[in-house]
Structure 1
Amino acid sequence: MNLTENARANFETLFGVSPAQSDLAKTDPEFFSNYVNFSFDEVIVDSKLELQERLLIILASLVAIPALSEYKTILNAALKNGVSPIAIKEILYQATPYVGMGKSIDFITATNEIFKAYHITLPLEAQSTTTRENRQEKGLETQRELFGEAIDKGNANAPKDYQHIRRFLSANCFGDYYTRTGLELQFRELLTFVYILSMGGADSQVKAHVAGNIRIGNDRAKLIAVVTALVPYIGYPRSLNALSAIDAIAPLQ
């Protein structure tokens, strides 16, 4: 292997072992060198995200792809580097209305197994702040905070035969998940940007959540830093699509 010192040091910080101990280093040394030098040197230098934040963003992306094997690897690194189990679970829960239960349940199950191996007691402390009676209104309040008057206009103009989907969006996606404690609203909206860009095929929604992020305080530089951190995991087509959405909504001044 021909690893940079920075790549080697960052790998050891994350995983607690030398890169030489990786199975891929033994079976695919050229691929492994390219991967480690890129992901753990160049990308980290240019994304400039704090370690725990970067790990949470990567975990969210891996759920959306979905990439369960790599998720387990990064989850172990996250726990070894002090990432909160509550924050990890909140990422999984909030992913559900975006990626669907069919994906998220596999990741919740795998996470529970790894938590048990780390002697993390389940269930974790409850984070819900809404009730069945107020979840729709609380969710709608959150939507308004992120997207302004466009939400009320969209609800008013929606065809009558699927207005229930708009109600679901307020009550379930935002009322059940965005209102939870464990993560700040600003970071939750950043995670939604991560889920949608990582899934691919939802370009209009990527633009909508670029706008939501800008409104809540995650500026162009922050969004580009997130895309940069995710390039090794989502590839260039989805990364470039996300950058196009950022350019469309928050062009460089």
Structure 2
Amino acid sequence: MTHGTAAHAPRPGDRDRDDDRYARGLAALRLVTGSEHNAVLDPVAEIAPDLARFTVEFGYGDIWSQPGLTPRQRQIGTVAALAALGNAAPQLRFHIAGALNVGCTRREIVETFIHTTVYAGFPAALNALAAAREVFAARGAEEAEQTASEPEDGRDRYARGLDLLRAVDGPAGPHVVDSLADIAPDLGRYLVEYVFGDVYARTGLDLHTRELASVAMCTALGTAGPQLRVHLRAFLNVGGTREEIVALLTQLAGYAGFPAALNGVAAAREIFAERDAADAADTAGE
């Protein structure tokens, strides 16, 4: 079918709708950049003007402007995903700056990258912190924020971690640790002590934000399906909503690609169905 056939002919109102998307996208992009002039897309427009337009219309006019997440949540999810991917340093720096522009603190950004050690490894986290250092330095000095927030609750790391693991993951968390006892007991102990006793117990991010970042990273990586399901459950356990999950997974189509987003949605569908079945069973039992 040729380009000039009726199937491809513009319909009345299409251009108006595209204009609305572009205007809405520019407004969202200005919120992220903190500037009226979005020079960040100028080099793209020089060589691929359609891509620059798609970035504004789709990336910001469609995805970023959706309801379901606050600007702060969107930027935390985005920097978490980009840090985990580890292959988009310029975009990570852009979104670190964007996170600051929409109200995230330096401490929250640093904590997100400390959290990255768990899901994408120390190299990815260290590279992300190097990008954050550049962005912070370009912003100039700010009042120092306390980033060392080691818990001091009198308990040892294992006891503290086990309590947090149960609070976040429910019965499934200790079951994972127990399943490692016959082959890698030290790995199970490290999971409790480091992941939960050290990292999750830090006060720089609340559990809701930590789990949002975890879902973003596991989705973006595309290699952690079982762990993504664990963290989708955990996100709901700590007060997250289905609307937030769907909005986050939709946003990740722009940063990790449609296959990663679609796989994330398939996992979410399973977890939502599981919750619905459990709720129905509870209701029947009553």
Question: Which TM-score applies when normalising by structure 2?
Answer: 0.81
Contact 2:169–2:234 (Cα < 8 Å) also in 1: yes
Per-residue CA distance 1:106-136 (angstroms, 9 max, x = gap): 1111211221221245974122215896122
For residue 47 of structure 1, report the CA deviation from its aligned partner.
Answer: 4.4
Aligned 8 A contact 1:11 1:18 in 2: no
Q: Structure 1 residue 161: deviation in Å?
A: 3.4
What is residue 232 of structure 1 aligned with on the other side? 254
Change (3 A) 1:123 1:135: farther
Determine the C-alpha separation between the residues in 1 that align with 2:179 and 2:98.
46
Residues 135-192 of structure 1 show CA distances to partners (whole Å, capped at 9, x for unaligned) of 2211111110112223333333434330110100011111111111121112211211
Give the match for residue 30 of structure 1.
Answer: 50
RMSD over aligned Cα atoms: 2.3
Give deviations 1:174-227, integer Å, cap 9, x for gaps: 111111112111221121111111111111111111111122221222211111
The structure number with the bigger radius of gyration is 2
Among 105, 109, 117, the alignment partner of 1:84 is 105
Question: Partner residue of 2:280?
Answer: none
Counterpart selection for 2:168 from 146, 149, 155 = 146
Unmatched tracts of structure 2, length 5 or more: 1-18, 277-286
| Structure 1: stretches of 5+ with no match in the other structure | none
Identity %: 24
SS in 1 for 2:66: helix
- Counterpart in the other structure of 2:25: 7
Task: Describe how 1:41-56 pairs up with structure 2 within 5 A.
Answer: 41-56=61-76
Shift of 1:81: 3.0
Name the CA distance, whole Å, in 1 between partners of 2:127 and 2:264.
26
User: The residue matched to 1:46 in structure 2 has which SS?
Assistant: coil
Distance in 2, matches of 1:156 and 1:30, equals 53
Match of 1:64 in 2: 84
**Residues 178 and 188, structure 2, Cα contact 8 Å, conserved in 1:** no
Conserved? CA contact 2:73–2:209, under 8 Å: no
Query: What TM-score, normalized to structure 1?
Result: 0.91
Matched-pair contact (CA < 8 Å) for 2:229–2:267: yes
CA distance in 1, matches of 2:23, 2:174: 53
AA at the equivalent of 1:13: L
Matches within 5 A, 1:83-232: 83-120=104-141, 124-125=145-146, 126-130=148-152, 134-232=156-254
CA distance in 2, matches of 1:110, 1:45: 26
Q: Distance in 2 between matches of 1:155 and 1:237?
A: 30
Whether the aligned pair in 2 keeps the contact of 1:130 and 1:138 (CA below 8 Å) is no
| Structure 2: distance between partners of 1:226 and 1:22 | 27
In the alignment of these two chains, the number of paired residues is 253
Higher relative contact order (CA 8 A, sep 6+): 1
